[in-house]
Every structure is written in C-alpha cells, then in structure tokens.
C-alpha cells in the first residue's frame, strides 16, 4: 500500500485518542482514523458519530473514522500511540512489521516502559522510525470541548517540527518544540510524582502559603532530577514542563493529585497501595531505584519522603516538616 502524507492513525479510541482525533479531523486535508479494540466504541463512532463510552452526548466530527482493523497502520504518515503506558511498548512491538518506514511515531503515554526504560527509549529500540514524545497540560475533556490546549513535541530532527505544525493547523491545539527528547519524556513522568505531593499537602493543610512553598520546592527538585537523567533545564519552561506540572498538581481532575488527596486524608491503606497502578506511584519507585544506583536517593527529600509514604508505615503528620527541614546546600 502507498502511504499518503495526510493519513493520521491514532491507536486507541479512549478519551485522549478520541479528543485528539476529533481535533485533527477539523483539518480537511487529513484522513484521521482511530484504531481500537473496543467494538462498542468503534460502532458508536462509525454509526452515530459519538463515543458513547468516553464522551456520551458529544457529537464528533463526521470525518473522524474508527475501526477494529490494524490495516490503516500500513498507510500512516503519523502514528499516534494513545493507549496506556503499560501497553504502549508491547503494542508497537507486536505491530512493528506493518509500520511504514517513513511514518512518524508519536508517544502520548506518560510513564515507564519495560525494565525501567522510558517509553521513547524502548520504542526507539523497536523501530527505526522517528519517535517523538508529545506531552503537555492536556485534559481530554477540554480538548473535546474545543478549549485551547498545548503540547510540547520532542524530536532530535528539527525538520520534523513543520510537519506537526501543518497537521495541527486550524485546530485549537497549540505546540511548542524541543530537541530535548529525553527531557520531554522525563518531565511527563516527574509531574505525576509531584502532583501526588501537592495532593498530600493540600489535604493535610489547605494553606495557600504552604501550597506555593511546596510547589516551588517541587519544581526545583524536578529540575535537579531532570538534569541528573540527561534532560535540559530549558525544557522545564516548555508546555511539557511548567504547564503540565501545574495542571496535574493543582486540578482535581488529575488522578495523581487525587491519589495524594486520598493519602493526605488518611484513606489510603497498605492494601490499597498494592492495588493502585497509577503512573505516579509506579514512577516513584522506578526513579528512586535509579537514584539509589547512583547513591543519590537521600539528596531528593520530597521524592524520598513520598517513597516512604507509599512503601512503608508512615506518620503523615511529619511529611511536610521533614521536607521543609531538610538541609542540603545543593538544593
């Protein structure tokens, strides 16, 4: 099959996949197709132009297509991966033989792949295609409601950026760009961790002064971890950095902030901890494991205390005090 430059394929017809596809379908030059394993979702999009499972009552652009077949992948110019982080790497590994050589692969998932590897790094080991993270302050609900929304696109090759600008032209989605692919990916992981901390703090104190104090400390600690893992400081001030962090840390639609609120209110039990698989909770353990290998686990007080909260019996009344009283001339 011949690949057309205007074929956009989105793997996943959940909230983010559907909302992003609906936005791109506004561009009449594009053919946008959602590939899903959920038959009821595909049928409702094809027959009623509504995703009844994720956005009941919201009419979708009739140009947005949906299918259970993976055949559209063979003709994709852009292949967006909008499935859970735990499934992203396995999905591409299974279907890599049908990904066109010239297709740009875009990772929307925020988290780690297998063996503590970032998803981008794992994907780059599977296929030779350009693999780009696209991350930012993006609740799917706002995208589907046509609210202005922003992403950072990461790519080592700057010549790719105009192609993204072209397909998003005329939509309500705004982009900035970075060649710091590692930084874009790492920040999308860190923001989930520190959103949990923001939730714990607000649940425990609900004090505006303390909230701003802790957000400042969290942002500084994120910067130090970013640099430790090979990212660039300037990436902190892209949409994927400050923008995504503030959205996730301060909005109650954020699952990781909500987890922090539950912990802070005392509703998070050890039994519940073992069952929760949110990206932020998983990332805390992965990042701490990597820092321990470098003998740096005690240099990041916020992360250290959150790790103890999640993995041990912990007196939450001391959580903020331990962070505030930590002295390190390097912070």
Q: What is the pLDDT of residues 154-206, one digit of tens each?
A: 999 999 999 999 999 999 999 999 999 999 999 999 999 999 999 999 999 98
User: What is the pLDDT at residue 3?
Assistant: 47
Task: Please indicate, yes or no, if residue 48 is contained in any of the structural domains.
Answer: yes
The answer to whether residues 91 and 114 touch, using CB atoms and an 8 Å cutoff, is: no
Question: Looking at the predicted structure, is the pLDDT value of residue 270 above 70?
Answer: no
Range of the domain at 126: 7-179
* Statement to judge: residues 128 and 199 lie in one domain: no
- What secondary structure does DSSP assign to 177-200, as a single string? EES-HHHHHHHHHHHHHHHHHHHH
All residues at 6 or more sequence positions from 174 whose CB lies less than 8 Å from its CB, including other chains: 148, 149, 150, 151, 168, 239
> Residue 306: inside a domain, yes or no?
yes
Confidence of residue 275 (pLDDT cuts 50, 70, 90): low
Residue 278's pLDDT is 66
* 129-141 per-position pLDDT tens digit: 999 999 999 999 9
280 domain residue, yes or no: yes
d(CA 9, CA 245): 28
Residues 162 and 188 in one domain: no
Q: Are strands 131-135 and 31-35 parallel, antiparallel or unpaired?
A: unpaired
Residue 111 belongs to a domain = yes
**CA-to-CA dists, residue 156 to 173, 183, 187, 198, 203, angstroms:** 22, 12, 17, 32, 41
Q: Indicate whether 299 belongs to any domain.
A: yes
- Single out the residue of 66, 58, 122 nearest to residue 91, CA to CA: 122
Give the count of domains, the chain.
2
Residue ending a domain, among 136, 161, 179, is 179
Q: What is the CATH number of the domain that holds 256?
A: 1.10.1040.10
Beta-ladder partners of 8: 32, 78
Residue 331 resides in a domain? no
pLDDT of res. 313: 83
**Which one of 159, 179, 199 terminates a domain?**
179
Mean pLDDT of 105-131: 90
- Residue 267 included in any domain: yes
What pLDDT score was predicted for residue 20?
98
Which pair of structure tokens corresponds to residue 310? 């999640």
**Three-state secondary structure call for residue 107:** strand
Residue pLDDT, tens place only, 17-39: 999 999 999 999 999 999 999 99
Give the separation between CA 248 and CA 115, rounded to whole angstroms.
Answer: 26
* Whether residue 318 sits in one domain with residue 209: yes
Residues 213 and 165 in one domain: no
192 and 117 share a domain?
A: no
Q: Map tokens 């893992």 to a residue.
A: 229
Same domain, 150 and 215: no
Asked if residue 319 and residue 275 are part of one domain, the reply reads yes
Give the residue with greater pLDDT, 104 vs 111: 104
Q: Are both 122 and 201 inside the same structural domain? A: no
CATH number of the CATH domain containing 116: 3.40.50.720
Tell whether 175 and 193 lie within a shared domain: no
**175 & 248 share domain:** no
Same domain, 51 and 86: yes
Sign of CA dihedral 193, 198, 199, 200: positive
Cα 240 to Cα 188: distance, rounded to the nearest angstrom = 6
Nearest to 251 by CA among 137, 172, 151: 137
Domain boundary (148, 179, 210) is at: 179
CA 113 to chain centre: 12
Cα 80 to Cα 183: distance, rounded to the nearest angstrom: 19
Strand partners, 11: 35, 81
Indicate whether 330 belongs to any domain. no
| 239-256 as b/e: b if 16+ CB within 10 A | bbbbbbbbbbbeeeebbb
Q: Residues 151, 211: one domain?
A: no
246 against 273, higher pLDDT: 246
């Amino acid at each position: 099959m011949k690949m057309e430059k205007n074929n956009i394929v989105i793997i996943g017809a959940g909230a983010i996949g559907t909302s992003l596809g609906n936005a791109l379908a506004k561009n009449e030059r594009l053919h946008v197709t959602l590939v899903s394993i959920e038959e009821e979702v595909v049928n409702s999009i094809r027959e009623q132009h509504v995703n009844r499972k994720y956005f009941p009552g919201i009419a979708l652009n009739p140009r947005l297509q949906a299918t259970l077949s993976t055949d559209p992948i063979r003709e994709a110019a852009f292949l967006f991966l909008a499935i859970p982080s735990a499934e992203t790497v396995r999905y591409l590994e299974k279907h890599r033989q049908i990904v066109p050589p010239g297709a740009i692969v875009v990772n929307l998932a925020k988290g780690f792949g297998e063996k503590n590897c970032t998803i981008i790094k794992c994907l780059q080991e599977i296929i030779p295609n350009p693999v780009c993270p696209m991350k930012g302050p993006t609740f799917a609900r706002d995208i589907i409601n046509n609210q202005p929304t922003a992403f950072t696109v990461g790519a080592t090759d700057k010549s790719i950026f105009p192609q993204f600008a072209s397909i998003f032209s005329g939509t309500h989605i705004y982009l900035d760009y970075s060649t710091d692919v590692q930084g874009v990916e790492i920040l999308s992981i860190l923001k989930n961790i520190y959103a949990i901390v923001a939730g714990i703090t607000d649940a425990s104190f609900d004090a505006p002064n303390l909230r701003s104090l802790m957000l400042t400390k969290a942002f500084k600690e994120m910067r130090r971890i970013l640099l430790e893992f090979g990212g660039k400081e300037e990436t902190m001030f892209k949409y994927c950095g400050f923008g995504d962090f503030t959205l996730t840390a301060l909005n109650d639609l954020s699952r990781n902030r909500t987890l922090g609120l539950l912990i802070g209110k005392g509703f998070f039990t050890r039994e519940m901890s073992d069952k929760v698989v949110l990206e932020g909770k998983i990332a805390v353990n992965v990042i701490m494991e990597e820092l321990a290998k470098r003998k740096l686990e005690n240099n990041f007080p916020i992360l250290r205390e959150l790790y103890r909260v999640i993995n041990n019996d912990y007196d939450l009344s001391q959580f903020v005090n331990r962070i505030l009283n930590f002295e390190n001339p390097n912070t």
